[in-house]
């Protein structure tokens, strides 16, 4: 497997980065449609003997443009990098999406960026591809530029599953409905959230149910509620637990959601650890309770329900 290089910003493009095959996109979730495109890109990379490069953005363009109406984020940048690292891609170039980048014309993207700075030999794009100021660039414009400058351009059609398009939107909808098997089939991997454990208010420990707190670092999460989940990243094994994503309305409530996970039969100091929480089954929606006593009762009920779900799942797998 190739070791993937991360390039942050145009100012970090070096002379050795000149000459590549490239694609451009958000790649939120790194689902099967994305993987199909990257497989085609890597095949071209091998054919032409130059590195493969994915150009992406942070924040994602729709987060920049749509403000409060922005869609839920499937993967933060760290999670995308982890998933992309398993695709055989050589390089990821992450550009900050801001007012300056928003104003760049499609012609400048081609002439200054793709041709002069990166020396692209081939560009692969997905369906409905648009780029540049006011989305003025499209596949036809890119193809004409390729003919003019001597680089190839190809366009991959839509990947479908069960008679519908594989897309980040469809994955979000499946997760919102708690349909984790469908989400996994669309993604090609279980849905997870990764982050470092931070200090919280220690309320869970006071209630007898210690939790690992993980900031989500995204404007909107794709999940909200209480879930049976598994935790990776501690000692090479998976631990079962209960995870909550929300704003903790019983305690104080806030606009920024937090991930909290109670790991079953586990009592070690893991502050600062980078963990992955893999979501398996939705137990209930988040809601406000009248007292901490009522919340504690519900937490213990959630734990019992999650343990039963895991037991039933393990029984189903052995039958």
pLDDT of residue 254: 59
Tell me the DSSP string of 227-261: EEEEEESSSSS-EEEEEEEE--TTTT--SS-EEEE
pLDDT of residue 91: 98
CB 44 within 8 A of CB 122: yes
On the 0-12 / 13-18 / 19+ scale of CB atoms within 10 A, 275 is buried
CB 210 within 8 A of CB 291: no
pLDDT of residue 199: 87
Domain boundaries, the chain: 5-161, 190-318
Task: Please name the fold of domain 5-161.
Answer: Rossmann fold (3.40.50)
pLDDT of residue 285: 95
CB atoms within 10 A of CB 5: 14
pLDDT of residue 2: 59
pLDDT of residue 319: 61
Which pTM was predicted? 0.92
Distance CA 240, CA 242 (A): 7
pLDDT of residue 289: 87
Distance of CA 274 to the CA centre of its chain: 16
pLDDT of residue 205: 74
Stretches in the chain below the pLDDT threshold 50: none
Among 138, 30, 20, CA closest to 90: 20
pLDDT of residue 125: 96
Which residue shows structure tokens 């992406």?
56
On the 0-12 / 13-18 / 19+ scale of CB atoms within 10 A, 33 is buried
pLDDT of residue 206: 75
Distance CA 54, CA 59 (A): 16
Superfamily of domain 190-318: Riboflavin kinase-like (2.40.30.30)
């Amino acid at each position: 497997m190739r070791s993937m290089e991360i390039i942050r910003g145009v100012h970090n493009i070096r002379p050795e980065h000149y000459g590549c095959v490239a694609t451009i996109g958000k790649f939120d979730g790194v689902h099967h449609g994305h993987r199909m495109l990257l497989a085609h890109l890597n095949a071209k990379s091998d054919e032409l003997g130059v590195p493969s490069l994915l150009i992406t953005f942070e924040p994602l363009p729709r987060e920049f443009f749509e403000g409060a109406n922005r869609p839920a984020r499937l993967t933060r940048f760290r999670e995308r990098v982890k998933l992309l690292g398993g695709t055989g891609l050589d390089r990821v170039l992450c550009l900050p999406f801001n007012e300056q980048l928003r104003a760049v014309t499609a012609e400048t993207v081609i002439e200054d960026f793709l041709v002069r700075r990166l020396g692209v030999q081939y560009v692969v794009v997905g369906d409905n591809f648009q780029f540049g100021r006011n989305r003025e660039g499209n596949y036809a414009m890119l193809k004409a530029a390729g003919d003019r400058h001597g680089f190839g351009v190809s366009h991959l059609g839509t990947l479908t599953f069960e008679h519908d398009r594989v897309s980040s939107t469809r994955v979000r909808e499946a997760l919102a409905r708690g349909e984790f098997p469908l989400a996994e089939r669309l993604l090609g991997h279980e849905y997870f959230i990764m982050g470092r454990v931070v200090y919280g208010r220690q309320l869970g420990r006071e209630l007898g149910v210690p939790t690992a707190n993980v900031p989500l670092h995204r404007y909107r999460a794709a999940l909200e509620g209480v879930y049976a989940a598994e935790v990776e990243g501690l000692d090479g094994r998976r631990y079962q637990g209960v995870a909550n994503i929300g704003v903790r309305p019983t305690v104080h409530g806030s606009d920024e959601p937090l991930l909290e996970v109670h790991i079953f039969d586990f009592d070690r100091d893991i502050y600062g650890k980078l963990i992955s929480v893999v979501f398996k089954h939705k137990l209930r929606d988040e809601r406000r309770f009248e007292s901490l006593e009522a919340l504690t009762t519900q937490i213990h009920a959630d734990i019992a329900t999650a343990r039963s779900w895991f037991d039933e799942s393990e029984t189903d797998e052995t039958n």
